[in-house]
Structure 1
């Protein structure tokens, strides 16, 4: 499919990428919704947790099923999570929210964790859900890192992908580029925040079990350093370069065989303007909607701050109606 100009129109009161990116973290209203939690034991005896909307009664429930994947160090408490779940539930969908290993508030058991190309755990969860409900998922929605995992998985699966559609938002298609971008300008603030969380998680985990690495975690202060000294060796990559090369989703989008919507802003401060794939890199099943504004998982519209509209949620519902009718 051709690259399409997005219908998103940014709020005039959030005129730049950083304001778009940060608004939801500080000001978005988070609905008070009740969710159940399922803990899944993985093949290596580790675990991950899935939050489940309460409108899924049992295995025979015939609601269309949606699976959501979060971004780096995200969780059910990420500002986009509960609002989107609430929107989907009100529209009649049953929703599962997958936490990557160690992201549900409890450190995972094994030394390894999760990363931008970890499709094995996603496959395990999808297999679990399709077996439980005896049908393909209606859609999988991935944000940022979760979007990269999703697109990579879709490309790997090809025609075997057990979902009817997909949506990926603010994807770091080229991981090496994203790592470089995060070392520039105000983006260093995001990097510092995220790296500090990763360092704390590393410290907390290896205060209880022995670390296989001989490093000073406090010295791994950029994404490249962390990925080279932590992510790569813990997940059997030769180096950060090897990890970035093998796990960047841009090389996989050509192989996607199910209807897939990608929402991306060229002013995303987590990557460069040319990070998104070109038209000749896209599968005929992929629709890339590009906006000149929106920031990273921002896309905030509306006339006034007290009447903010969150365009991603609106566009997701439109896409589901288009693809599942």
Structure 2
């Protein structure tokens, strides 16, 4: 499909660049009116996933469709970009399932492994669980790392994707993991790097105490970048031969050609963590089921509009709803 460049999203003048547009919502947007119902499911390897459900408050015709939402790196179901989307979708007649990756809920997971950008086995388990509950219409949505995970999942499933999965919408997607890992090392992005590493460090330390023969926390002193973390820990814990192998096996850009359902990818050109030139634009221009929409503004999982509606809805949430509601792209 043709690539789209849109200026429909206009940020406030007081958020003048991608950094401000990324950081402001993360720090100052507060959403407290989404009632979740927690469910824990077991994984085949004797671990668990915590799922947070929110149900439609508006009745439509027939059973409510379901949206499964996948959060970003070191996020969870309570991040503002998840809660904002869930609030709008439930008011529009959708049930929502926001799941927490291993180690990202309120309790550390039990197994040696954590989560990573390509752990589609857990996403498939969540989809299968929703199917077992009787949902006939399922949409997938992902943000940042969760966007890469979602694209990889639908791409590798291809024609084997459950027929109930009808559409996919993802935002701020690092489709080239190596390029994005290097981008976060830039001086202007060190604040993001420090934040991510500060939350990953105690997880590794705790895992090292539980699995002292398999995790050497002392190696953390060698971690100076995200590439280092992935090379020393992510790859080793998840069966990859180093960071480069992990990135090559899990970057969504290698899987989008297999996507068989309508899929919208929205990235901002001023995203500080996902360089625009890392997106496989020429490849996706020829894909029949994939649209790449590039906005001039928005930052990373930001997209606050210049004029905030009374209900507090962000541009990304309105855009996602528009795509889900219409059978063809507009």
For normalisation by structure 1, the TM-score amounts to 0.93
- The secondary structure found in structure 2 opposite 1:97 is strand
Mapping 1:99-248, distance limit 5 Å: 99-137=100-138, 139-162=139-162, 163-214=165-216, 215-248=218-251
8 Å contact from structure 1 (residues 301, 308) kept in 2? no
8 Å contact from structure 2 (residues 158, 260) kept in 1? yes
Alpha-carbon distance in structure 2 between the residues aligned to 1:150 and 1:319: 16
Give the Å deviation of 1:303. 3.6
Alpha-carbon distance in structure 1 between the residues aligned to 2:19 and 2:182: 17
Name stretches of at least 5 consecutive residues in structure 2 with no aligned partner: none
- The secondary structure found in structure 1 opposite 2:90 is helix
Which of 254, 257, 261 lines up with 1:258 in the alignment?
261
Corresponding residue for residue 272 of structure 1: 275
Q: 1:305 to 1:159 in 2, by over 3 A?
A: closer
Corresponding residue for residue 292 of structure 1: 296
Name stretches of at least 5 consecutive residues in structure 1 with no aligned partner: none
8 Å contact from structure 1 (residues 182, 270) kept in 2? yes
Give the Å deviation of 1:281. 3.4
Q: 1:62 to 1:117 in 2, by over 3 A?
A: same
Alignment coverage as a number of residue pairs = 320
8 Å contact from structure 2 (residues 151, 255) kept in 1? yes
Q: 1:305 to 1:167 in 2, by over 3 A?
A: closer
Structure 1 runs (4+) greater than 6 angstroms displaced: 304-308
Corresponding residue for residue 97 of structure 2: 96
Give the Å deviation of 1:11. 1.9
Q: 1:89 to 1:305 in 2, by over 3 A?
A: closer
Alpha-carbon distance in structure 2 between the residues aligned to 1:41 and 1:119: 16
Alpha-carbon distance in structure 1 between the residues aligned to 2:264 and 2:123: 19
- The secondary structure found in structure 2 opposite 1:98 is strand
The two structures, once aligned, show a CA RMSD in angstroms of 2.0
Q: 1:267 to 1:134 in 2, by over 3 A?
A: closer
Q: 1:95 to 1:324 in 2, by over 3 A?
A: farther
Q: Deviations over 1:84-104 (max 9, x none)?
A: 111111101001001111111
8 Å contact from structure 2 (residues 67, 96) kept in 1? yes
For normalisation by structure 2, the TM-score amounts to 0.92
